[in-house]
């Protein structure tokens, strides 16, 4: 590099590495130099308007953003460099002036994390949207710290190391659901380190902890096997699920059907008309579908009279409110259809194929396909066990989601990545898996579902397979 310096930041645009700012022990620098690996050469570029050290950088849509730092004063300054024109533009300042911060970009949003303001170590997280030139305050990092590093892997921002008095090995992960989780710490506590990502592995390089370090440590963000919940209701309660009812619906413990090894199941009944008796699980600690597979398995029995509760499996077009019932919905919060979410499983003779079928929760979008369950017409096999596995996966980089479903070991649905699949449509509510006698519309008799077993994991269960 032509200019020796410390306290600089770097960013990569179109295969060129840009070294920005820092200090040389005498002066704060606005120097920008570009390295081309193809020719192994450096080129001097237009200087950053605000000379500074201890800044952070992030790249969004080919523009490099320099945020914060200090020039003798603590800075909230944001300046944007366009390599195509070799020009800088001043942008809206960060709400919090600071140095020693780190930054990462997720889904076109730049997140400025941690640092210090000369008085306190900070856990502050502020998000910059270049499209609107505005900042938004986000959930604070659990561990306040400065001189940390940050990198993004699969749409998750990892804050690594730093110090808040002692040197830290702390690793914390931020999801765009505005939640933080603590990960396995680095083996070597340190600050003023660098980080990079290669093939999904995060590398922590160098730093200082009383000695200058040559240390390199690798972190694999892939979660180990996680079971979010699992129950066969043998204790006679719905826990960890919760019951929600309407229209006279009710859920009670029953011994009429039960899983092997269990003494009971949950019997959910809607007496007729319109109402629901559902079993819910709410993911209050973040959405596990983001850039990961979520598998849900449920075993249930439709009681005798399920088909009769909607007048049979043929469409009565004379009805202004066509009868139907649902056994599953996956949404963000307690919402009706076509608001947000993933998939619903239902019998709706006037709205889809005969028997049980899956439809996207956003069923009103162009190109939506219904997926019939095998061997559910002309009989719903009342009194027999259905073993169903749902797989959810939302790709935050591409802005789309995939959905797959297996029924009694048969793969009945496996979608491409669809922009409406798993969409929240701005809802702040948590992912909610909803089962049981979820919904009955215009019923002419009682609708009952026995739920024998349910679980959710981040690894394949039953006949299910991982996302490609």
Predicted confidence at residue 179, as pLDDT, reads 87
Residue 463 lies in a domain: no
Is 80 exceeded by the pLDDT of residue 212?
yes
Could you tell me if 213 and 255 lie in one domain? no
pLDDT (tens digit per residue) in 376-426: 999 999 999 999 999 999 988 788 999 999 999 999 999 999 999 999 999
Residue 1 lies in a domain: no
Predicted confidence at residue 288, as pLDDT, reads 87
pLDDT (tens digit per residue) in 301-335: 999 999 999 999 999 888 889 999 999 999 999 99
Residue 2 lies in a domain: no
Could you tell me if 110 and 242 lie in one domain? no
Give the domain-ending residue among 166, 193, 219. 219
CB distance 281 to 433 below 8 Å? yes
CB distance 127 to 141 below 8 Å? no
Q: Could you tell me the residue range of the domain that residue 86 belongs to?
A: 9-219
pLDDT (tens digit per residue) in 263-289: 999 999 999 999 999 999 998 877 889
Q: Which of 445, 453, 441, 456 shows the shortest CA–CA distance to 326? A: 441
Give the domain-ending residue among 195, 219, 243. 219
End-to-end CA distance of the chain: 42
Give the domain-ending residue among 191, 219, 247. 219
Give the contacts of 108 (CB within 8 A, at least 6 positions apart).
Answer: 60, 61, 129, 130, 131
Predicted confidence at residue 157, as pLDDT, reads 95
Could you tell me if 282 and 302 lie in one domain? yes
Residue 184 pLDDT class (50, 70, 90 cuts):
confident
Q: How many domains does the chain have?
A: 2
Q: What is the DSSP string of 330-372?
A: EEESS--TTSSBSEEEEE-TTTSSSSSEEEESSTTSTT---EE
Cα distances (Å, whole numbers) of residue 9 to 30, 316, 366, 457: 11, 67, 45, 39
Residue 465 lies in a domain: no
CATH number of the domain to which 299 belongs: 2.60.120.200
Query: Quick one: what percent of the chain has pLDDT higher than 90?
Result: 89
Could you tell me if 450 and 331 lie in one domain? yes
Could you tell me if 283 and 207 lie in one domain? no
Could you tell me if 166 and 297 lie in one domain? no
Alpha-carbon gap, residue 124 to 185, rounded angstroms = 20
Mean of all residue pLDDT scores within the chain: 95
Predicted confidence at residue 223, as pLDDT, reads 66
Degrees, nearest 5: CA angle 110-113-117: 125
Could you tell me if 215 and 253 lie in one domain? no
């Amino acid at each position: 590099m032509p200019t020796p310096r410390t306290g600089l930041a770097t960013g990569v645009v179109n295969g060129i590495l840009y070294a920005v700012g820092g200090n040389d022990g005498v002066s704060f620098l606005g120097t920008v130099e570009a390295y081309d690996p193809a020719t192994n050469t450096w080129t001097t570029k237009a200087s950053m308007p605000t000379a500074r050290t201890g800044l952070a950088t992030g790249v969004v849509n080919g523009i490099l953003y320099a945020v914060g730092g200090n020039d003798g004063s603590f800075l909230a300054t944001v300046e944007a460099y366009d390599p195509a024109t070799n020009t800088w533009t001043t942008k809206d300042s960060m709400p919090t002036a600071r140095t020693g911060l780190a930054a990462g970009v997720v889904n076109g949003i730049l997140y400025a994390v941690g640092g210090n303001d000369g008085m306190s170590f900070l856990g502050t997280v502020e998000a910059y949207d270049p499209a609107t030139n505005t900042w938004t305050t986000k959930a604070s990092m659990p561990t306040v710290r400065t001189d940390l590093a940050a990198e993004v892997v699969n749409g998750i921002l990892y804050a690594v190391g730093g110090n808040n008095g002692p040197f830290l090995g702390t690793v914390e992960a931020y999801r765009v659901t505005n939640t933080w989780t603590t990960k396995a710490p680095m083996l070597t506590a340190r600050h003023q380190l660098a980080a990079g990502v290669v093939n999904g592995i995060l590398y922590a390089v160098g730093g200082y902890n009383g000695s200058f370090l040559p240390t390199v440590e690798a972190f694999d963000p892939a979660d180990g096997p996680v079971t979010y919940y699992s129950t066969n209701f043998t204790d006679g309660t719905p826990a960890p699920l919760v019951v929600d009812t309407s229209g006279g619906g009710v859920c009670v413990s029953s011994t009429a059907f039960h899983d092997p090894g269990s003494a009971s199941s949950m019997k959910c009944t809607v007496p007729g008309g319109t109402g629901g008796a559902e079993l819910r699980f709410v993911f209050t600690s973040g959405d596990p579908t983001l850039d990961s597979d979520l598998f849900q398995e449920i075993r249930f029995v439709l009681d005798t009279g399920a088909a009769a509760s909607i007048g049979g499996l043929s469409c009565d077009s004379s009805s202004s409110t066509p009868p139907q019932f649902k056994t599953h919905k996956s949404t963000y919060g307690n919402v009706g259809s076509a608001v947000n979410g993933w998939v619903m499983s239902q019998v709706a003779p006037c709205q889809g194929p005969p028997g049980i079928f899956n439809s996207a929760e956003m069923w009103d979008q162009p190109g939506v396909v219904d997926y019939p369950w095998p061997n559910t017409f002309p009989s719903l096999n009342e009194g027999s066990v259905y073993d169903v596995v749902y797989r959810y996966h939302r790709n935050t980089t591409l802005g789309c989601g995939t959905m797959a479903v297996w029924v009694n070991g048969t793969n009945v649905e496996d979608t491409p990545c669809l922009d409406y699949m798993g969409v929240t449509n701005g809802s702040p509510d948590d992912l909610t898996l909803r089962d049981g006698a979820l919904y009955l519309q215009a019923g002419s008799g009682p609708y009952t579902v026995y739920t024998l077993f349910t679980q959710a994991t981040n690894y394949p269960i039953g006949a299910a397979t991982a996302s490609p």
